[in-house]
A and B are shown apart, each in its own frame.
Chain A
Amino acid sequence: DGGITQSPKYLFRKEGQNVTLSCEQNLNHDAMYWYRQDPGQGLRLIYYSQIVNDFQKGDIAEGYSVSREKKESFPLTVTSAQKNPTAFYLCASSMLFYGYTFGSGTRLTVV
């Protein structure tokens, strides 16, 4: 079945560590996105990529980095520069001009 897979589902990070969240899709979608969601809040866009080897900052890109070396993959690295990384992270993909398909999310907690 086609879909979008995020891993891990839960992730714990020590302060000062970088962590990488995985996002893989087999939908042949061109565009991929990363969103952050805090409790009781809407989704905020971190980064997005419309084609391989190209990506743009969203509204809250500081402290995050991404790469898009393959069409299927769009990993997100939460760096130590992100001061408040505890959140629910959602990855999505879409064909241009169509609706999004979301993954099931990764819940990151700083311990």
Chain B
Amino acid sequence: DAKTTQPTSMDCAEGRAANLPCNHSTISGNEYVYWYRQIHSQGPQYIIHGLKNNETNEMASLIITEDRKSSTLILPHATLRDTAVYYCIVRAEGGTASKLTFGTGTRLQVTL
């Protein structure tokens, strides 16, 4: 699976959009981009994933660049409850390997 690079930490004011970047310059054509988040001392929570088109769900939007070498997770109106560590992961679908590899993620702090 391709390696990802994320900033160590970010701050965001409550009510503003939080834009979390991720670089995955070695991504392969069959690898999806996944985002998870982990609130302190809990298990990670799935947020969203995509292959090459932009995706949106009730939690967030995922913007993937045309060359697929980077992506941005957007939380449109951040709240204090969105304070967490956010993990960007790339993973190939198909075949026998389905394990996710987590890096250290981005620690997002939402403030008043």
Contact = CB atoms under 8 A, between A and B. Distances in A.
Contacts of A31: 98
Interface residues of A, number: 26
Interface string A13-33: 000000000000000000101
Contacts of A94: 98
Contacts of B43: 90, 92, 102-105
Nearest to B100: A100
A68 to B, nearest CB: 15
Interface residues of B, number: 21
B44 A45 contact: no
B103 interface: yes
Contact of B94 (A35, A97, A103): A97
A31 B100 CA distance: 12
A53 interface: no
Interface of B: 34, 36, 41-46, 49, 87, 93-94, 96, 98-105
